[in-house]
Amino acid sequence: MDIDKIIQDAVKQVMSESRVSNDPISGNYDPSYAKYMDHTVLKPETTKETVKRFCDEAKEYKFASVCINPTHVSYAAEQLKGSGVKTCCVIGFPLGANTSFIKGLEAMEAVKNGADEVDMVINIGALKDKNYSLVYEDIKSVVENAHPQAIVKVIIETSALTDEEKVIACELTKRAGADFVKTSTGMGAGGATVEDVKLMKRTVGESMLVKASTGINDREITDKMLAAGAVRMGTSKGILIVKGEKPVTNMNEY
């Protein structure tokens, strides 16, 4: 028995495993949170270098997806290929005021370019006008152009709606065949709240999933959203949440 070689091999293996992440793992580190995170970078000034950094981080931490604007889909899909991290693209973002035809084309192109998931914004004004058939057809246009290659999450912008309108938006989303209903764009007057997530989950039941986005800045908030019924979080703070750390500022960043 070559005890020296056995020791050397054991040390090499342990040291190799310890270098998987460049970040020190504290007692608060919990990788189980990663599967809930859509690592999100949607600012208009986002560069390719920033997209690459988010993709690298998502691969390292094993986040559910990287959520980007349509112009970055091909690049992000190539960066994430084979990693198990999904490419997520926003549609009709952030106002939801494009026509249904354009949203459908946008979804079709996103899927063609490699999107595994699309997050569309509803026509908020039409909902408030009680033009429910338009809202339904708007969502259905994206669903028909994304399925079955990509799942569809529907952003209803809860901060702009009454509770009754939130319920109606969720019902229309469910009837149009989408996979998720989602709280916010990050560009509206407010973000996700526990009360809204509970209401949304109560409305869609087990037939759909709920994504909370905007203001998901730390693990305490994440835990509350999970308890309320959300299974995805749209946030740029996923790394801090996995590490159990607080952000330097408490901005409600997407």
Q: Is 182 a catalytic residue?
A: yes
CA–CA gap between residue 119 and residue 129 (Å, rounded): 23
Q: Are 42 and 69 spatial neighbours (Cβ–Cβ below 8 Å)?
A: yes
- The active-site residue out of 38, 86, 116, 119 is 119
CA–CA gap between residue 38 and residue 152 (Å, rounded): 14
- The active-site residue out of 86, 153, 166, 182 is 182
Residues whose CB is less than 8 angstroms from the CB of residue 212 and which lie 6 or more positions away in sequence, other chains included: 182, 183, 192, 197, 225, 228, 230, 232, 233, 234
Crossing angle (nearest 10°) for helices 194-204 and 163-175: 40
Residues whose CB is less than 8 angstroms from the CB of residue 164 and which lie 6 or more positions away in sequence, other chains included: none
Q: Are 148 and 177 spatial neighbours (Cβ–Cβ below 8 Å)?
A: no
CA 113, distance to chain mean position in Å, is 18
- The active-site residue out of 86, 140, 201, 211 is 211
Structure-token match 């749209």, residue found: 234
Known catalytic residues are: 119, 182, 211
